[in-house]
């Protein structure tokens, strides 16, 4: 971990998927809640920084959000849809929230981080994403813990990490279902990662 010029702790997550950031997870719920905390941290880091530091923080945020949401859409939400009493309705609400966040994130990614409108739009995205995360932690995750066995929840950690390892690293609105992610994900992920490598080589 390094320090910013303002004394804030900054996790050095560049080039690192969330699947690799920690290995101390009791089950998939612990993993997802930890990732929510990482996302909250990166939002604040981006909002509190400027110049090149803001660009770096925002790039990390984009990557982590894209990877996290893809894994949830491929693994977690389909399980909730099948296993929970009101799973289909619960998951549909979460997917609508994710679709709106992807649209806003995609718009932000096309903007310069020094654009006068960037910070206000970023704060709108932050509120949207954090509201979505709270809904998952309040309504979806506790029910999954209650309806799935401990061994199944531990096994899902491996499934989520595998999905994250091959997930796109940029938002792609319209691919919120597991089917679309699995059909389009591998090609999209490869394109995204080549794009990331080219950008990294130029920086």
Using a cut of 0.85, tell me whether the model's pTM lies above it: no
Q: Residue 162, class by beta-carbon neighbours within 10 Å (0-12 exposed, 13-18 middle, 19+ buried)?
A: middle
**Residue the block writes with tokens 């691919």:** 175
Which H or E element spans position 35? helix 28-48
pLDDT of 175 reads 55
pLDDT by position in tens, the chain (length 203)? 344 444 444 333 334 444 444 456 689 999 999 999 999 999 999 999 999 999 999 999 999 999 999 999 999 999 999 999 999 999 999 999 999 999 999 999 999 999 999 999 999 999 999 999 999 999 999 999 999 999 999 999 999 999 898 888 887 766 555 455 444 545 455 455 445 444 555 55
pLDDT of 135 reads 97
pLDDT of 23 reads 52
What's the Cα-to-Cα distance from 56 to each of 15, 183, 203, rounded to whole Å? 11, 30, 11
Going by their DSSP bridges, the two strands 2-3 and 9-10 should be labelled as antiparallel
Q: Rounded to an integer, what distance in angstroms lies between the CA atom of residue 101 and that of residue 1?
A: 28
């Amino acid at each position: 971990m390094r320090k910013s010029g303002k004394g804030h702790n900054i996790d050095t997550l560049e080039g690192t998927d969330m699947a690799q950031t920690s290995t101390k997870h009791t089950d998939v719920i612990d993993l997802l809640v930890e990732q929510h905390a990482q996302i909250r941290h990166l939002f604040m880091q981006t909002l509190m920084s400027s110049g090149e530091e803001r660009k770096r923080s925002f790039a990390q945020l984009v990557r982590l959000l894209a990877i996290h949401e893809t894994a949830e859409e491929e693994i977690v939400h389909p399980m909730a849809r099948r296993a929970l009493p009101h799973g289909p309705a619960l998951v549909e609400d979460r997917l609508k929230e994710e679709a709106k966040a992807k649209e806003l994130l995609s718009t932000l990614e096309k903007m310069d981080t020094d654009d006068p409108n960037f910070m206000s739009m970023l704060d709108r995205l932050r509120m949207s994403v954090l509201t979505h995360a709270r809904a998952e932690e309040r309504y979806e995750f506790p029910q999954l813990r209650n309806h799935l066995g401990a061994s199944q929840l531990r096994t899902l950690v491996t499934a989520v990490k595998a999905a994250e390892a091959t997930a796109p690293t940029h938002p792609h609105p319209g691919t919120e279902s597991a089917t679309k992610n699995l059909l389009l994900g591998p090609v999209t992920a490869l394109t995204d990662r080549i794009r990331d490598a080219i950008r990294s080589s130029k920086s």
